[in-house]
Amino acid sequence: MSQPVNEDPLDTPLQFLKGVGDRRAADLARVGLHTVEHLLFRFPLRYEDRSRMLPIASVRPGTRASLTGRLVHAGLRTTRRRGFMIFEAILSDDSGSIMLTWMNQKFLANVLKAGQHLVVYGLAEMKGHGGLQITNADFEILDDEEGGETLHTGRIVPIYERAGAVTPKQQRKLVFDALHRLPPDMRDPLPEEVRQRRGFPTRYAALHATHFPPSDVDLETLNIFDSLAQRRLKFDEAFEFQLGTVARRRLALAEQKGGTIVVTPQIRETAKRVLPFKLTPGQFNALKEIVDDLQKPHPMNRLLQGDVGAGKTIVALLAAVVVMENGLQVAFMAPTEILAKQHFATLSTLLVTSRFRVALLTGSTTAAKRRQYLAEIQSGAINLVIGTHALVQGDVLFHRLGFVVIDEQHRFGVLQRATLREKGLHPDALVMTATPIPRTLALAMFGDLDSSSIRDLPPGRLPIKTRMIPDARRDEMHEFVRSELQAGRQAYVIYPLVEESEKLDVKAATEMADTLQQQVFPEFTVGLLHGKMKNDAKDRVMKAFAAGQIHLLVSTTVVEVGIDVPNATVMVVEHAERFGLSQMHQLRGRVGRSQHQSHCLLVYQTPMSAEAKDRLSAMVETTDGFIIAERDLQLRGAGDFFGTRQAGLPTFRMIDLDRDGGLMDEALQDAEQSFALVVRTPHDISELLRSWSARFRLMEVG
């Protein structure tokens, strides 16, 4: 078989490599390696310096050594164990000699012969015979290698992760052969101008130097993937990713929204009348950025970040008023029914004197009511609809939908936009989140989303006092809670969800509620809330807690998002060591909502891992959600920040978001600058986005 001409050499099937027959090809295919590209972009896990040759006499037992010398003896030896063979050889240089043995590798008898010049690498150990010995050494016969270039020894050697039947050594050999088939003038995806300005080697040179680094490159640098060649390849990936981001932004700019929005002095007045207090500077700025966007011809796609209690709702409502004043409808979505109801209560109260009609549409809306609402939404009689995901997913038809607000769930928010677009709707969209997303992640996940942040809190809030309490001293916690309840305040006790068994969790929470009610706080009313309860039961409990009839609410993490009961001043987190940092911060945000001093008590079991300790300490040290988010990212790493992969983090081959944020920024600048050079036609854009989505397996964003 000869290789077809004019094809990208990276697309060459691996069968074309030396020594890859059907069987080896099948082994490679099983682990996802089909083409030269797959092989060459499976980078070493780490590197080992095997370049410094030691005189044999200076080898110390217990160390790994690279040696070179001549074989003075080589032969098979049988042992007493039947069928077990040892191949023995003696390697000599001017300084001395050492024994080499290989277990059960009979074929070596046909490979290694006395007189050959060898380079070996391996662990030297003291053996029974009193001399040094290396067992199963990596070796290369120099006389047979063209130009004396070694792969596995005598250099900085790449160590690959074993993949199925393909050993690290085999991959090394394959990579070496593949590299030598590449034409030095192979296609380079980086514009020449960018490459030169950044002082990067060509892609060809970078691939060579990444797999088989020249001996003058620092080993440490290689092992943190930061040599110039490695940076060049990481930059390629970042650049490719950012081209997609830029493409999406440009497409979004070209998109037209349904209706135009203007802001007149009269509209400003109406909005002011809705406002029950003065906005903080942070709220004011965010609102300004949003309203500026509303007046643009393309749909807004904006993230509003702000700590729990920062007052995002009112900002969204004021923007909604502007939109409704322009004759367009608004959909306001919350992740749970409880939250939807709460928003409905807040928003309909604020809008009570306005001419706008507000409706709540959820899973528990009766069929008759639902039918009525659907008709009124379709006719435009209802201006603002509040609900859960179902709002845009189901059969709801809007008269003129102009603005979508998505609360507390950026992941879901991102998906909703795609759904809306499929329905031919192009409303402005505002996604609100109380879990600030560290900048690097935000860029990678939502590079095409604009972002506003509220970093201040409404005036008069007392910072929440947080402390850690070991489980053994829970009496202290009980006494503290009692004193707050006696002062007329309310408290939460949160139980963690252990994913394996929701049943067990519910049982733990239920038992906890019983114990607290009967044995600890008989004089108060203890309530229970968990995910397995029916909606109306949950509702009753929440209402009773909001009304102050329940003093202490035991709950699983369902209260995590958005619940607003200002009189609650104590948040007890049980098994705090099991919670993620951001999640604890969210929970803490349930208190600190009034003029009363609030407290967060983190009850933990010992012993606790160092990481858990770090998390709890971070909680004690700061109440700033933006700092918490950065700490959380450091502690968990990007992959785990949102808990799961489906969170929409792109899959990178080389980029590590914890480490390569700076590179991503630089690549974004270059992608912006040279976009027109790389992407010339609308066809190019759609091609780019297609391969981009496939490559980074991102869910539909924006």
Interface with Mg ion (CB under 5 A)? 562
Q: Does 314 bind ligand ADP (CB under 6 A)?
A: yes
Whose Cβ is closer to Mg ion: residue 387's or residue 562's?
562
Whose Cβ is closer to ligand ADP: residue 249's or residue 312's?
312
Amino acid at 399: H
Q: Which residue has the tokens 């662990």?
A: 123
Apex 654 CA angle, 203 and 197, nearest 5: 40
**What is the phi-psi region of residue 288: left when phi exceeds 0, alpha when psi lies from -120 to 50, beta otherwise?**
alpha
- Return all residues near 276 (Cβ < 8 A) that are at least 6 apart: 350
Report how far residue 335's alpha carbon sits from residue 380's, in angstroms, rounded to the nearest whole number.
Answer: 25
Least Cα distance to 180 among 151, 201, 221, 223 occurs for 151
Select from Mg ion, ligand ADP, none the partner in contact with residue 310, using the beta carbon and a kind-dependent cut-off of 5 to 8 Å: ligand ADP
Closest CB 454 distance from ligand ADP, rounded Å: 7
Whose Cβ is closer to ligand ADP: residue 247's or residue 591's?
591
Number of residues that bind ligand ADP (CB under 6 A): 17
Amino acid at 312: K
Closest CB 461 distance from ligand ADP, rounded Å: 8
Distances (CA, A) of 257 to 298, 383, 588: 5, 18, 39
Please identify the residue of the shown chain whose CB is closest to the bound Mg ion.
562
Closest CB 243 distance from ligand ADP, rounded Å: 35
Whose Cβ is closer to Mg ion: residue 158's or residue 562's?
562
HEC string of 231-282 equals HHHHHHHHHHHHHHHHHHHHHHHHCCCCCCCCCCHHHHHHHHHHCCCCCCHH
How many alpha carbons fall within 13 Å on the CB side of residue 92? 9
Residue 209 host element (H or E): helix 203-211
Residue 102 host element (H or E): strand 97-103
Q: Does 318 bind ligand ADP (CB under 6 A)?
A: no
Pairing of strands 358-361, 329-333: unpaired
Select from ligand ADP, Mg ion, none the partner in contact with residue 451, using the beta carbon and a kind-dependent cut-off of 5 to 8 Å: none
Q: Does 413 bind ligand ADP (CB under 6 A)?
A: no
Closest CB 516 distance from ligand ADP, rounded Å: 28
Closest CB 481 distance from ligand ADP, rounded Å: 23
Closest CB 313 distance from Mg ion, rounded Å: 5
Whose Cβ is closer to ligand ADP: residue 139's or residue 332's?
332
Q: Does 133 bind ligand ADP (CB under 6 A)?
A: no
Q: Does 564 bind ligand ADP (CB under 6 A)?
A: yes
Whose Cβ is closer to ligand ADP: residue 113's or residue 272's?
272
Output the CA torsion sign for 245, 247, 252, 253. Answer: positive
Residue 387 · residue 244 · CB < 8 Å: no
Amino acid at 220: E
Closest CB 305 distance from ligand ADP, rounded Å: 10
Select from ligand ADP, Mg ion, none the partner in contact with residue 362, using the beta carbon and a kind-dependent cut-off of 5 to 8 Å: none
Report how far residue 157's alpha carbon sits from residue 121's, in angstroms, rounded to the nearest whole number.
Answer: 11
Select from ligand ADP, Mg ion, none the partner in contact with residue 314, using the beta carbon and a kind-dependent cut-off of 5 to 8 Å: ligand ADP
Residues in 267-306 at the binding interface with ligand ADP, rule: CB under 6 A: 277-280, 283, 306
Residues in 454-513 at the binding interface with ligand ADP, rule: CB under 6 A: 458
Whose Cβ is closer to ligand ADP: residue 227's or residue 336's?
336
Residues in 569-598 at the binding interface with ligand ADP, rule: CB under 6 A: 593
Select from ligand ADP, Mg ion, none the partner in contact with residue 309, using the beta carbon and a kind-dependent cut-off of 5 to 8 Å: ligand ADP
- The answer to whether the peptide bond before residue 566 is cis (omega within 30 degrees of 0) is no
Closest CB 386 distance from ligand ADP, rounded Å: 14
Select from Mg ion, ligand ADP, none the partner in contact with residue 335, using the beta carbon and a kind-dependent cut-off of 5 to 8 Å: none
Contact with ligand ADP (CB under 6 A) among 310, 340, 528, 629: 310
Report how far residue 61's alpha carbon sits from residue 47's, in angstroms, rounded to the nearest whole number.
Answer: 22
Stretch that binds ligand ADP, among 52-60, 217-225, 307-315, 439-447 (CB under 6 A): 307-315
Distances (CA, A) of 673 to 246, 250, 255, 670, 685: 10, 13, 22, 5, 16
Q: Which residues bind ligand ADP (CB under 6 A)?
A: 277-280, 283, 306, 308-314, 434, 458, 564, 593
